[in-house]
Chain A
């Protein structure tokens, strides 16, 4: 009985902790890449309309 309970406890140990994994990693990189791409797009959309006179 005790061994059975111990086994049951063991089975739940894995879910007893928040497990880190690649999912967290990919979300971080994905969100960053997406945001940087969107920001580049916004810069392009907001580009000065009149052809910039060639300074510098």
Chain B
């Protein structure tokens, strides 16, 4: 199982992503108006989707952490990994979007509702990760950062619906109705490939975070019995 995740998942992800990108770059037609620049879609859109998925996972993990109440380091680690992976994907999404914007809109950047809310999102999760760095006590860190995660998540629906709620430079979401099938296919394949890679990143980063947490909370009395005892120890620390 472990090996499957360690090797199978990234290899499958790379394979599917390569297939999707090949379809997008070589097989799919260029856009009627935009020409070849439209092919940026197959990297930009999956990145933004996966960033959204990761941020939602961060929110769910943060809420669950607080509601569970009993310092679940697994949930805390999930939240941490999701924020970091989401920040990476979101930043790449923004960079690719800016490059796409230059020949299409004429500008790399404009403070339109979509781009502004996206920028706020990236700043929020950067702040989230910085906060986690600065708080030494694992229990306080988990609680405080969960609050930041929940407040930061307000922005996620705003990012998504900004193009519908307000006038913006960014167009509204496309759907299979507005995109030719030869372009929908590479987009979907690329998205699945990136999803697999995202899951691989999340799992790897989660294990890293969990190992750190367990090292932190197990310090006082190292009795590696089960993760349950580690959790109750954490409470004595708090």
Contact = CB atoms under 8 A, between A and B. Distances in A.
> Direct contact between A and B in the complex (CB less than 8 angstroms)?
yes
B207 A52 contact: yes
Contacts of A50: 211
Interface residues of A, number: 26
A50 B212 CA distance: 11
Contacts, number: 72
Given A24-B40, A24-B100, A29 B21 contact: yes
Interface stretch (B102-110, B165-173, B174-182): B102-110
Interface stretch (B57-65, B91-99, B137-145): B91-99
Interface string B127-167: 00000000000000000000000000000000000000000
What range describes how many residues of B lie at the interface? 35 or more
Interface string A26-50: 0111011001100110010011101
B40 A28 contact: yes
A48 B1 contact: no
Given A24-B99, A48-B211, A43 B204 contact: yes
Interface in B200-238: 201, 204-205, 207-208, 211-212, 224, 227
Contacts of B227: 55
A25 B208 contact: no
A25 B25 contact: yes
A21 to B, nearest CB: 7
A20 interface: yes
Interface of A: 18-22, 24-25, 27-29, 31-32, 35-36, 39-40, 43, 46-48, 50, 52-56
